[in-house]
Structure 1
Amino acid sequence: MTAAARTGRVGRLRGLAGTGVLATLAAMVVTTVAAALARAVGVDFEVPAGGEAIPLPGFAVVTGFFSVVGVVIAVALLRWSPRPAERFLWTAVSLTAISLVPPLVCGANAATVVTLVGLHLVAAAVLVPAVTWRLRARAD
């Protein structure tokens, strides 16, 4: 591999990582603010399995963790897939769909379930397009 090719690959990975970090932070903020607004209008976020309400910082932590997992998947696909943007989009949509199952089966009240599903979709709506765009921009 030539030095130029190696430098180009490092640049693409750094660009993707930077976009991923910014999108992760944005998803964390948007999800936490949306959860705070939902709590302000009466959603209790009580999940019967734990018996306690989900704390607001918990939304940021979980969103951040799974967003970073998504960015790591994107980096791996950029490195090893001939079509990273398409593969990432399909993977992210599939994982988002799977992430909707726990809220639906947790036994919480309807307001909590609907809000949790919405928060999953909000986080995905922030992260997935940004990372997919970056992967497409770097495929040229």
Structure 2
Amino acid sequence: MKGLNFLRSALLASLASVFLLSTAHADNALKMELTANKVVKNAEGKLSYLPVRTAPAGTIIQYKATYTNTINENINDLAVTLPIPANMTFTGEAIPSTAQGSIDGKNYADMPLMRKVDGKMVKIPFSEYRTLRWNIKLLPANKSAAVSLNTIVD
């Protein structure tokens, strides 16, 4: 079984970026916390999330970024992105489900991503997704919002 060093992947994923579409806020207005957790399903089908540093191929890992507004005013029109770490494949599961996907980190579209092949529109495989983006219309003063995506260790 192939193992993966999650410190390396978490560092890559921590490159998650934030764009304030309204630039009137200070750089320290937003705090981000990133976690990587193994997704485990018990016999009853209930999911649990366990902190993880390494895992064998085939393990489902959820990357979750929590963004906290640290100022006493609302932040409007916030776009946040999470890259899909190297040696990982996106499963198609994102929370909130309103995430947009990208295969190049520049152009985003609603999922599933599509492309034309031989004159027909076909779904782009999740293995080609590189980044997800969420648009948060309003993050109230001193409140938090979380986004997450699930991956499988290659």
The two structures have a TM-score, normalised by structure 2, of: 0.32
Structure whose residues are more often strand by fraction: 2
Structure whose residues are more often helix by fraction: 1
Larger Rg: 1
